[in-house]
Amino acid sequence: MKRTLLLLNAIISLSVVYAASDPVAAEQMEMLQRRSQFTNGGIAMVVCIGALLVFLVVNNRWQHRLEVKNLQLQRERNVVVAQNKQLAIERDRAEAALQAKTAFLRSMTHEIRTPLNAINGFTQVLTMTGVEIPEAERLDFSQRIQENTRLLTNILDDLILISDTESGADLPDPEQCIAASIITQARDTVEPIVAKGVELKCSCMMPETEMITTRPHMINLILTKLLDNAAKFTTRGSITISMDKVDDKLHFAVADTGPGIPCDKRDYIFERFSKLDSFMQGAGLGLSIARMIAERLGGTLTLDASYVGGSKFDLIIPIDNKA
């Protein structure tokens, strides 16, 4: 382009010399000069437009890079914010777990110390030398030692059950058993602690010899917890445990004629360490553990809110047909 302009200017210079002696040539020369000016202006305009286009392209690229950088920074900022939120959640969980652990240790210390103190006290009385203790009183002390030993054993068993359940320990393999034996074993386990005058009923709506495939030991644990809870609060009337099979599911029910459960406590009773009567023996873990085991077996444990005249718990456990 530069060479073209130089050549054009040289031609114009020669034409000026020639036009000085010829009027026609002078007119042509003037026209040529005008064209040259127009051409120069057009070239300058093209150059300006080209430069503007280059500027726009470069600016657009920089703008795009800037937007990409801003998006990256925004993503990084969002990641940091999300991490901070997660850290806050984990911190709150850790604090809640620490508080729960502290409450758990305090409760367990109290619940374990109570039967230990009773066992220690009655044992010292029975082993004192030189003291004559009537036979009836000695028998009463022995029964109290046995009761507190059973209570302490139950607390330790409950702690082991909670640990095994929460750690996801493998379930025992299903096995075949006589259906009716599940509720009779639970009844026989709890019968010694049922108050005098309270009738312990057992009802099985299945053939006595029918075989089923399930995990009878774990079901027995649930039923024992329910019956033990009923025996604590039922001082007269009856406690009934029933069993039926509906659509490949075992339906159990434990009902009593005790004081019942207030409406505002019906959800609370399944929480750990929940006790409607703070003076009643026990750690308040029975119903919580019973529901945990039921859920591990794929079943449900609920309180029948429509039942009147006491308390009634419904347990539904699916039968394992794959074994």
Where residue 128 sits, what CATH number does that domain have? 1.10.287
The answer to the question of residue 54 being in a domain is: no
The answer to the question of residue 29 being in a domain is: no
In this prediction, residue 43 has a pLDDT band, given cuts at 50, 70 and 90, of: confident
Please indicate, yes or no, whether residues 150 and 190 belong to a single structural domain of this protein: no
Please indicate, yes or no, whether residues 161 and 180 belong to a single structural domain of this protein: no
Please indicate, yes or no, whether residues 107 and 155 belong to a single structural domain of this protein: yes
Inter-residue contact 291 to 301 (CB < 8 Å)? yes
Please indicate, yes or no, whether residues 179 and 140 belong to a single structural domain of this protein: no
How many angstroms separate the Cα of 93 from the Cα of each of 90, 96, 101, 166, 288? 5, 5, 12, 17, 21
pLDDT of residue 114: 77
In 3D, which of 283, 268, 293, 270 has the Cα closest to residue 166? 293
Please indicate, yes or no, whether residues 203 and 290 belong to a single structural domain of this protein: yes
The answer to the question of residue 38 being in a domain is: no
pTM, two decimal places = 0.58
Inter-residue contact 155 to 283 (CB < 8 Å)? yes
In this prediction, residue 254 has a pLDDT band, given cuts at 50, 70 and 90, of: very high
Q: How many domains does the chain divide into?
A: 2
* Residue 194 reports pLDDT greater than 60: yes
The answer to the question of residue 11 being in a domain is: no
In this prediction, residue 213 has a pLDDT band, given cuts at 50, 70 and 90, of: confident
Which of 166, 184, 213 is a domain's end point?
166
Where residue 253 sits, what CATH number does that domain have? 3.30.565.10
Residue range 88-121, pLDDT digits in tens: 888 888 887 777 667 666 766 767 777 788 888 8
Supply the range of the domain harboring residue 304.
175-318
Please indicate, yes or no, whether residues 162 and 184 belong to a single structural domain of this protein: no
Please indicate, yes or no, whether residues 216 and 293 belong to a single structural domain of this protein: yes
Which of 114, 131, 166 is a domain's end point?
166
E-state strands within the chain: 175-178, 199-204, 211-214, 238-246, 249-256, 300-303, 312-318
- Which has more pLDDT, 129 or 203? 203
Q: Which residue has the tokens 């386990």?
A: 189
In this prediction, residue 239 has a pLDDT band, given cuts at 50, 70 and 90, of: very high
Mean local confidence (pLDDT), 155-178: 75
Mean local confidence (pLDDT), 118-131: 82
pLDDT of residue 323: 46
Please indicate, yes or no, whether residues 184 and 265 belong to a single structural domain of this protein: yes
Please indicate, yes or no, whether residues 295 and 213 belong to a single structural domain of this protein: yes
Residue range 269-302, pLDDT digits in tens: 777 665 555 545 555 677 888 888 898 889 999 9
In this prediction, residue 156 has a pLDDT band, given cuts at 50, 70 and 90, of: confident
Please indicate, yes or no, whether residues 152 and 182 belong to a single structural domain of this protein: no
